[in-house]
Structure 1
Amino acid sequence: MAGVNALRWLILTRHGESTANLAYEALLGTDAEEYDVPERDADVPLSDTGRAQAANLGRWLAALPEDERPTTVVASPFVRALDTAGIALAQTPYAAPQAPDGLRLRVDERLRDREQGVLSGLTELGVRRRFPDEADRLRRLGKFYYRPPGGESWADLALRLRSFYRDLEAQAPGGRVLVVAHDVIVVMTRYLVEGLSEREVLEIEKTRVANASVSRWRLDGSGPRAVCYNDSTHLTDVDDSPSKAPR
């Protein structure tokens, strides 16, 4: 994929556990129609566990061999991703402000979570009850191409990610890049980097990307080589069971 193959390393992580993840888990098995989350999606913060996960992620980054350490870090503008990146980088000896020439965190709105439009904040039951026609359209079109009113399909997300990675190629050719974002960004990056089909990516998506997990690809001129996907072994001392919540 143009925009990725010009890099040397690509590392993606999902943000740490958020308060919205906890709110979602609290509703499992109930007949609730919407999540009890007071903040807008962009402002949802990390939970205490999420902050501990971010710190562990930072210690993992600090232990990377020098030739695998990120030279560029880009995050989603959403608070949970920004805070994950900030906490993680604070654990490394090569990131600002500790190092005079250390890494600077960049923000790119193309890494934001998928926009749900009128379905934002609703549970699956809430969608079926309040928007039965949309629930039927989702079943007919499938998750990849379904676009909720005012929201995005997965295919829409692929378009903005292609744009992001093309720009990244121009800005950091040969670089080692860390992206801190959301589960769907991790999944769709794999779709783009590995040239997957709709069926393949939706099968992969059935296993939720764990909070603060790591996915890595090495690019050596012969195409991307997956080193790990959805790896959370660096979180063994944190209560880090993969969140089922998409946010």
Structure 2
Amino acid sequence: MKKLLISALGLGFGLMASANAAEMTLGGITFDTDNSASTVLWAQGGVFAGNLDNRREACVDPTDSSSTVGATGVECRALEVTGFDLDTDVELDENNTVTQDPDVLSVFFDDDLINGDGFDIIVFETQDQDDPPAVTMILNGTQLIGERIAVVEVDGDTFTMWGFDFANLPFDLAMGATISAPLYLQTARDDENTPVGSSDIAAIVGLNFGVPTPEIPLPAAAWLFIAGITGLGFAGRNKRKAA
């Protein structure tokens, strides 16, 4: 009875945890929307046209997640990308130049990211333009171009999902490596440092927040040992019955 009660309690807590998790599956990838970027800053560039309330400038220190304004006091947070809200986005362009001041976002998460199995970051890009954008992630001075996972439709809008695996070159991080520094995003550039389109970033989701547990295969001989122990158990029980 006690074992049944403990099992029931465990099942109850498991169901509660599942109910509280904001799981979603898009493009064949299941993720928790609560693991979205908690803070996104303009590290370079910004928004200099349109409604004054919507204008942004780069933060004085984009490595400080508590930053709120830039050098002239203008908002420096990319609030449109914080959390999982695909209704808003920001455009990463070149500010009307080819090689100077490309827009760059500085991305923070509440928990350290862990290099786990498969993709570690998913970036959602709004597809509302004709050019073929691609998203680049920068870490420790090296850049990794995202892998196009899928094109999905959510509430009538189309998004490209870009996946980033920290184990891929040039990041080449070891399994279980922790990434605590901010990640940087910008539009991909070709070998001549020319931008490839401009990306509209709507959301950024982290997939691996815990150290992956390696699967330890059971040696083949162990199955024979277990079978032998089981056989001894049955033999002992039959012997007691006969007595």
**Bin for the TM-score computed over the shorter chain:** under 0.3
Q: Which structure exhibits the higher relative contact order, with contacts defined as CA atoms closer than 8 Å and separated by 6 or more residues?
A: 1
What's the TM-score, normalizing by structure 2?
Answer: 0.23
| Higher strand residue share | 2
What's the TM-score, normalizing by structure 1?
Answer: 0.23
